[in-house]
Homo-oligomer: A and B are copies of this chain.
Amino acid sequence: MKNHPLRIIPLGGLGEVGANMMVYEYDNQLLVVDTGLMFPENDMLGIDYIIPDISYLTARRDKVKGIIITHGHEDHTGAIRHVLEEISAPIYSTPLTQGMLEVKLARSGMAQRAHLETIRAGDNRKIGPFSVDFFHVCHSIPDAVGLGIDSPAGLIVHTGDYKFDHTPVDNWPTDYAKLAEFQRRGVLALLADSTNSERAGWTPSERVIDSAFDKVFREAKGRIIIASFASLISRMQQVAEVAQRYGRKMAFAGTSMVDNEKIARKLNYLDIPENTIISLDEALNRKDRDVVIMCTGSQGEPTSILGKLSTGSHRIFDIKVGDTVVLSSHPIPGNEENVYRTINRLFERGANVIYESIAPVHVSGHASQEEMKLMMHLTQPKYFVPIHGELRQLKRHAALAAEVGIPQENIAVVLNGQPVEFFEGKMKLGKIVPTSYVFVDGSGVGNVGPDVMHEREELSQEGIMIVNLGVDKFTGKLSRPPEITSRGFIATNGSTNLVDGLRKRISETAVRSNGSLQKDVEQVVGNYLYSETHRRPIIIVNTFKA
């Protein structure tokens, strides 16, 4: 059999597009690992979410042998429907991940189209030229897996998101034995999660939260409301345990929270006695000190349950004095303002708010520096490629690898679109593949590009001023006073003088203008508004003959 190079092509997850997607390619056969989305940054105006450009895949759609989803988080699953619109290949995932994918696919009417293959940690599957070992990893969602991807070019360990939690809530630690086995077989390259590469030490175990929760329950006199990520199943388990200890019933609020709780219970990832769980309605009718409500909104999202509670705009319940609200989360960069605003508003409504800086009510799901080094020592790879992170995090992870003793020239820090190739035991960088952001806005995929984004930016900063001119079709002069409309510029009641001044200047311009009335008026309006207000709104001048 002829040898081929193994190409690993990051389409997402490295550098700016945090939506994780990686392609493994051998002998013209492709394996996709993860199909993530990314939520927009604050200056990506009006965008719902961002997905990787998958044109590399669509150009090779018949060669895609399989898609592996390592776990059920949006940054690993969220683009699945966009991928399935183009690619037809079996999707390999663990039962919980599959349950979450099924909900997502059903919602976009794609359930029929998907061929879902259940795998379990410990399984091995042949997918095209690849022999894939799935191994269990701890993360902030149960049933996550890492991958040992073997091909004639060598064995690659792809960690997925992971941490080494010795006392996870589901008592299922990361599979050290499998990692050691890979090491015995010889690891050509380790591709490892870089998210927390700037954090020293070891990420605390999920278990450390228990005592903080215990204190909250011991001291709370009224209702307890706990906001967390909807997918953080282990946090539900922890709340359920302390709720039982203190004789409180537990309710869930928020569609995604309820969905995930149902799937997780059905598939036995949550162990909560039936009589501990009540409906939200029932919770609101019980005595305050007998209930705990888990809800969405720990990132301060204005439309989430907690967001609505903080502004008093929830349809069926309100914060009241005596409530204890726990934000069991850490703000994702970019969300800080929303999170802090939500906390301030909850305080203002009389709640006692407990959050990360007050008590250890959250831990990260990602490995910190000492765990990263352990991963390197366990697998002893020849080559190292940091994945899942911004460039600063990849660089830091690479520096850790060098500290551990991996030679600098065997470490590749690459960004999306930069293939890493392995042939006869040697690594080199391949020719760059075009990648980019694809913005998804409403039902449109990719029809909001840089130009539209730039217009939105301008509109958001200064607003728009629209001038309609009626022009006499014989004389070319104004046939009526200019009509002036604005949006997002300044309050019109405060600016009568401004509008009057504008009318006057437009009329004057129309008298002297010969030919390019529209352009002349545009310029005069722009100059006048800037001199009066030091602002430059978008200006649109329409002329019509009448």
Contact = CB atoms under 8 A, between A and B. Distances in A.
Interface of A: 15-16, 41-43, 45-46, 198-199, 333-334, 336-337, 340, 343-344, 347-348, 353, 355, 357-358, 390-392, 395-396, 415, 441-444, 446-449, 451-452, 455-464, 466, 468, 470, 483, 485, 487-491, 494-495, 532-535, 538, 540, 542, 544-546
B534 A443 contact: yes
Given A460-B459, A461-B46, A535-B442, A334 B337 contact: yes
Given A344-B391, A444-B534, 9 more contacts: A198-B357, A340-B390, A340-B392, A447-B490, A452-B463, A452-B491, A459-B460, A466-B540, A487-B540
17 contacts: A42-B42, A344-B392, A347-B395, A353-B392, A357-B396, A444-B534, A446-B494, A447-B490, A447-B491, A447-B495, A448-B491, A449-B491, A456-B460, A456-B463, A460-B460, A464-B487, A470-B544
A451 B491 CA distance: 7
Contacts of A540: 466, 485, 487
Contacts of A532: 443
A397 to B, nearest CB: 13
B392 A533 contact: no
Nearest to A487: B455
A128 to B, nearest CB: 34
A533 B411 CA distance: 45
Please name the 9 residue pairs, one residue from A and one from B, whose CB atoms are nearest each other, closest first.
Answer: A460-B460, A442-B534, A459-B459, A455-B488, A546-B546, A46-B461, A456-B488, A442-B535, A198-B357
B333 A333 contact: no
Contacts of A487: 455, 458-459, 464, 538, 540
Contacts of A538: 487
Nearest to A490: B447
A542 B468 contact: yes
Contacts of A495: 447
Nearest to A15: B344
Q: Of residues A442, A443, A460, A470, which shows the largest number of chain B Cβ atoms within 10 Å of its Cβ?
A: A460
A347 B414 CA distance: 12
Contacts of A348: 391, 415
Given A459-B487, A463-B456, A391 B347 contact: yes
A444 B534 CA distance: 8
Contact of A490 (B43, B448, B463, B488): B448
A542 B542 contact: yes
Count chain B CB atoms within 10 A of each CB in A357, A396, A495, A544 and give the residue with the most.
Answer: A544
A198 B340 CA distance: 12
Contacts of A470: 544, 546
A46 B45 CA distance: 13
A493 B442 CA distance: 18
A449 B545 CA distance: 36
Contacts of A415: 348
Contacts of A334: 336-337
Nearest to A395: B347
A468 to B, nearest CB: 5
A309 to B, nearest CB: 16
A115 B482 CA distance: 48
Contacts of A395: 347
A18 to B, nearest CB: 11
Given A390-B340, A542-B483, A464 B468 contact: no
Given A42-B42, A466-B466, A491-B451, A344 B16 contact: yes
